[in-house]
Amino acid sequence: MIKKILSLLGVTLLAAGAVFAWNVARLPTVAAHSAPIEAVAPLAADPAVLAAAVRIPTVSYDDADVIDHGPFDRWMAFVQEAFPRTHQRLKWEIINEYSFLYTWSGQSVDATPILFTAHYDVVPVDDNGEWHHPPFSGQLADGYVWGRGSMDDKAAVISILSATEKLLEEGFVPHRTLVFAFGHDEEIGGRSGAAKLAAQLEARNIRPEWMLDEGMVITDGVISVIDQPIALIGVAEKGYLTLELYVEGEGGHTSSPPHHTAAGVLSAAVARLENSPMSARLDGAAAAMFDRLTPAMPVVPKALFANRWLFEPLLIKQLEGKTSTNAMIRTTAAVTQLKGSNKENVLPRLASATVNFRLLPGDSVDDVIRYVKAAVADPQVKVRVIGEATEASKVSDVSGKGFASIESAVNSVYPEVLTAPALLIATTDSKHYAPLTSNIYRFRPLWVTPADVPRFHGVNERLAVENYQRMVTFFYQLMRKVE
C-alpha cells in the first residue's frame, strides 16, 4: 500500500514538474506585440498651443461658489481660435454651459460611433514656492511645457483637437463617426460635465462601439521587474465608496469617564478593520496584465507567473507587500478622518471615523458594507454611506476592436514599448458613460517615470515637448485606424 502511495506521489510530482516546465518553455522570450508594428515619425505639433491652454486657469473646486467661470469662458474662445477647421467642419455643441460635444460624421451611416472623452478642468494649486515655473505660466523651458493641466488632462484635449485639425487639413473622413466629449468638472466628480454629456448621448440613442478616456499611461521604470517601458491600457476601474463609522456616547466630564469612551470603542473598531483586510485575489484585469507581461520578466518571476495555478498564494503574498500592487488585487480601505470631542477634557457624545474604499471588480458596495460590519463586530459601532458610491466597472474586452485599435496606434508611435491591459485603481469620468458601452478603455500616451508620478495633481507638473508631439501622433493614428 505504501509503495502504491509513493508511486502515485512520484507520478503526480513528475506530472506537475512537466506542466511547470511546459508553461515556462512555451512562453516567447519577450512579450510579443499582438499586431504588426508600422512605426511612424511624430507630427511636428506646436507645443505653444498646449502652453496657451495651460495659461487658462480652469480650476475646479468642491465648493461651486468659489469657482471662477471667467477662465472657462476664455477656454471656449481659445479652442475656436486655435482649431478653426474643427469648429467649422464638425458639429460642435455646448452642453450645460461649459462642456463640449463634437461629432465628426463618418463614411458609414450604419457603423456605431467611437467616443473619445477628456476634461479640461484642473485641480487647485498650492503654490508654496516649489514650482520651477509658475503653475499657470505655460512656460516652454528645457524641452517641457510646464504648468497645471499639461499632463492631466489638457494634453489630451489639445492632442485630440490637434490631430483632428491635421486630418481635416488632409481631407480625411473617418470610416465611423467619431464623437468627442470634453467635460469641465471631472476633478470634482463630473456630475455637471460628463454626466450631462452622457445623458445627451443616451437621449439620442448613441451607443458607442467603444470609448477611450484618461487612465493608465506608459510607465518607464515603474514596474521594477521589467526593463522595457510599458503602455498599460486600462480595461477596468475600481469602484469608490466612503463609509462613516460612528459611536454615540453620553458625553460629560473626563474626571469620571466610563471604562470605554465612544472614542475608545471606535478606535478599537478601526484597528480591527485595518487588521482584517478584504481577501486578495489575482484575477480580471490584474491577471490579464501579468499574463501579457510574463514573457518579458526575468527567469524566476517568469516561472512563478507562468505557473499561477501552483504559485498564486506566493505571488499574492509578494504583491501584498507593495501598496501599488496590493491595490491591484483587493478592495482597499483607507482610514482618512477621525473625530471626537472638541476639547481634551470633554467626553465625546459622538466619535466618528471616515474610511475610503476602492472596490476591486467583483466586489460590490453591499459586499464591502457587510465585510465592514463583520470586521468591526460591535453593535455599538454604526456604519453609514457618505456621499455617492460607485460600483467597480466591468472588465472591457481585451480581444475586441477597441483594444486592438488602441494597441496598434501605440505600437506605431511607440514601437519600443510593450502593451498590456491593466486595472485602473483611481476613478475617472468614464463611470458616467458606462450605461452606453461595455467596452471602455482608459489610457493616455503620457511617458511616466517614477519621478513623474508625484507631478499628477502635484508640484511641477510638466510634459515633454517630444511626448506631446507623440501624443498628438497617437490620436492621429488612432482616428485613422478605427475601422
Task: Catalogue the active-site residues.
Answer: 121, 186
In angstroms, the CA 423 to CA 276 distance is 23
In angstroms, the CA 23 to CA 15 distance is 12
CB 431 within 8 A of CB 393: yes
CB 405 within 8 A of CB 482: yes
Amino acid at 360: L
Name the β-bridge partners of 89.
none
In angstroms, the CA 381 to CA 333 distance is 17
Number of other residues whose CB lies within 10 A of the CB of residue 300: 9
DSSP 8-state code for residue 254: T
Q: Order of strands, edge to edge, in the sheet holding 350-359? A: 332-339, 350-359, 239-248, 382-390
Task: Specify the 3-state DSSP secondary structure of 158.
Answer: helix
In angstroms, the CA 135 to CA 460 distance is 7
Q: Which residues are within 8 A (CB) of 213 and not within 5 positions of it... i.e. 6 or more apart?
A: 117, 118, 428, 429, 430, 433, 440, 441, 442
- Among residues 74, 44, 46, the alpha carbon closest in space to that of 158 is found at 46
Helices (H), 26-143: 47-54, 70-82, 84-89
In angstroms, the CA 102 to CA 338 distance is 45
